[in-house]
């Protein structure tokens, strides 16, 4: 009898937890998600409906605090952003938070990168290299609280780099080739900090292009012109000079 009571109690408790989470769009259709977000945030459901398979961002900045380094991607080329997909969307009726999850496969990022190393009471030093990185799998999670009217513009995007990237790196000079670390044991930390900055624009551009346009634009893109052009015109493939192939990245810690 006691065992039966415990089983019944657990079943009721599990059902209560399940009832807190609702899936308003079980098929994860863009149209359904768009209606849910628009009804709460007032975002514009009239979207472009596409992202170019390849587009340019003139300049992109990010930091890796663990390595005491800053980075500038110049002439950043983004490929396969259009291949991202919505993989989760639910609403917690107790906390009143909507959660939107994205999966991106084989996202490519290519640029001429400037690496700036910071040291206490010393002048910064900079290094230059060309990088082409392919990310086999990343997951992006965005929390949209009801208290902020599910405003994407004020939300944070958490990015999980599930599979570490395949990278080709070409140092611009001998000094840079000597500086870049050959030890990739801390690459997971580097990518976690890297995508702390990249997660929001990746999710924002996708959501505003396919689902609902929030009318703001990522401040870490270099200018509004990049944002307005990213899905509208084709960009030629770059023709950078290629030297020896490297598979190493980041600062010496």
The strand pair at 54-64 and 69-79 is best described as antiparallel
- pTM, whole model, 2 decimals? 0.80
pLDDT recorded at residue 188: 96
Is domain 22-229 in CATH 3.90.550, yes or no? no
**Local confidence band at 164 (pLDDT 50, 70, 90 cut-offs):** very high
pLDDT recorded at residue 134: 99
Residue 23 has pLDDT above 70, yes or no: yes
Identify the residue with better confidence: 161 or 11. Answer: 161
Domain boundaries, the chain: 22-229
Identify the residue with better confidence: 16 or 33. Answer: 33
**Local confidence band at 9 (pLDDT 50, 70, 90 cut-offs):** very low
Please compute the mean of the pLDDT values over residues 93-110 and round it to a whole number.
Answer: 98
pLDDT recorded at residue 223: 38
Q: Which of 43-57, 133-147, 166-180, 205-219 has the lowest mean pLDDT?
A: 205-219
Work out the percent of the chain whose per-residue pLDDT is above 70: 78
C-alpha 223/C-alpha 190 separation (Å) is 26
Please compute the mean of the pLDDT values over residues 122-138 and round it to a whole number.
Answer: 98
Q: Exposed, middle or buried, 139 (CB in 10 Å: 0-12/13-18/19+)?
A: middle
Of 11, 188, 160, the closest CA to residue 88 belongs to 160
Please provide the average confidence, as pLDDT, over all residues in the chain.
84
């Amino acid at each position: 009898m006691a065992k039966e009571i415990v089983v019944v109690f657990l079943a009721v408790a599990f059902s209560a937890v399940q009832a807190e989470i609702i899936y308003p769009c079980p098929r994860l259709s863009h149209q359904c998600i768009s209606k849910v977000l628009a009804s709460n945030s007032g975002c514009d459901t009239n979207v472009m409906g596409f992202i170019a398979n390849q587009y340019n961002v003139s300049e992109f900045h990010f930091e890796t605090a663990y390595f005491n380094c800053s980075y500038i991607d110049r002439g950043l080329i983004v490929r396969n952003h259009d291949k991202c997909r919505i993989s989760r969307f639910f609403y917690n009726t107790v906390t009143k938070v909507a959660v939107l999850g994205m999966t991106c496969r084989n996202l490519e990022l290519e640029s001429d990168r400037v690496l700036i190393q910071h040291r206490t009471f010393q002048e910064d030093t900079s290094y230059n290299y060309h990088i082409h990185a392919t990310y086999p799998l990343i997951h992006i999670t965005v929390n949209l609280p009801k208290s902020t009217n599910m405003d994407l513009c004020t939300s944070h995007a958490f990015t999980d780099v599930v599979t570490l990237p395949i990278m080709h790196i070409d140092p611009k000079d001998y000094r840079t080739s000597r500086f870049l670390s050959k030890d990739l044991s801390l690459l997971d930390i580097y990518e976690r900090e890297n995508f702390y900055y990249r997660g929001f624009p990746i999710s924002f551009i996708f959501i505003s292009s396919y689902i609902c346009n929030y009318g703001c634009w990522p401040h870490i893109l270099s200018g509004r012109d990049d944002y307005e052009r990213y899905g509208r015109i084709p960009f030629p493939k770059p023709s950078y000079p290629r030297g020896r192939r490297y598979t190493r990245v980041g600062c010496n810690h």
